[in-house]
A = this chain, B = another copy of it.
Amino acid sequence: MTFAERLSRAQHLSGSLVCVGLDPDPAKLPKDLKGAPDRFADSLPLYAFNRRIVDATADIAAAYKPQIAFYSAVGAEDQLVASIRYIRERAPAALVILDAKRNDIGNTAEAYAREAFDRYGADAVTVNPYMGEDSVRPFLARPEHGAILLCRTSNPGAKDFQDLSSDGLPLYRRVAERAAQHWNQNRNLMLVVGATYPREMAELRQAHPEVSFLVPGIGAQGGDLDATLEAGLDAHGAGLLINSSRGIIYAGGGSAAAIRAAAVELAAAINRGRAAHTPPQPAQAAGTV
């Protein structure tokens, strides 16, 4: 199955555009997973927390997105491997996106692609575009795996360089243009477009109606869901994976019930927005209806 087919299948089978971010900060684990007698709580707390999150959301999540920094900071690569294996058992249709923002010259990028796709078995990995084509190609070489390229990110510093304009287009538009036109032969490229910048997202949707966006920034970072849906949904009411990390996994102190409730609520709010959404009219149809 190609990456594009896997993405579409994950959204259809879950009935959802929700991506659950697995960012288990050891300092913020639920109280009952700190020092409890359970051996998982004792020795593998990140894995124990992830099992809880996956159990609570397996029927709702179109994708899971572990942020590798939280595992590599504490030497918990084995818990990341175990967590991804657990997702495959409990939610076999869900995509696994390794959020690693990898980037390097060609032969090193190939090693990073092996890390994401072979070692961890992820379906897709996030990639930084600053180093250009040869640093991105290795992540797009396998049609069954995807690369999700940083475009307009959700953080305050996004404006520092991504908004710099050359010949009338900001850098993030140049990144999207180059990627969509030249690097996407396998239709396995997505873009990271932050929920905190709906105007920029609307421009990108207009320019690239066929490219799917991974959307961080809902919740803790302040992005507005309705504005995101209005700006980013494609002509089929899809084209988005909307990530929530802290807003789901730390809901209600991290209890299973609160995690599930937060994910259900987000999925429902998204689907209400999708039902109410008037798809954007393709530019070429203007004036003909």
Contacts and interface: CB of A to CB of B under 8 A. Distances in A.
8 contacts: A25-B107, A69-B108, A73-B111, A128-B128, A128-B130, A132-B161, A134-B157, A161-B174
A156 interface: yes
Contact of A77 (B75, B164, B221): B75
Determine how many copies of this chain the complex contains. Answer: 2
A155 B130 contact: no
A153 interface: yes
Contact of A73 (B75, B119, B132, B165): B119
A105 B69 contact: no
A23 interface: yes
Contacts of A118: 73
B70 A129 contact: no
Interface string A160-177: 111011100001001100
Q: Which of A99, A102, A131 has the most CB of B within 10 A?
A: A131
A237 to B, nearest CB: 28
A153 to B, nearest CB: 5
A157 B128 contact: no
A115 B155 contact: no
Interface in A21-51: 23, 25
Nearest to A132: B157
Contacts of A150: 130-131
A101 B72 contact: no
A55 interface: no
Contacts of A77: 72, 75, 77
B74 A119 contact: yes
Contacts of A157: 131-136
B115 A73 contact: yes
B162 A132 contact: yes
B132 A130 contact: no
A107 B216 CA distance: 14
A106 interface: yes
B161 A129 contact: yes
A67 interface: yes
A12 interface: no
Contact of A133 (B23, B67, B112, B156): B156
A198 B165 CA distance: 26
A77 to B, nearest CB: 6
Q: Which of A108, A118, A165 has the most CB of B within 10 A?
A: A108
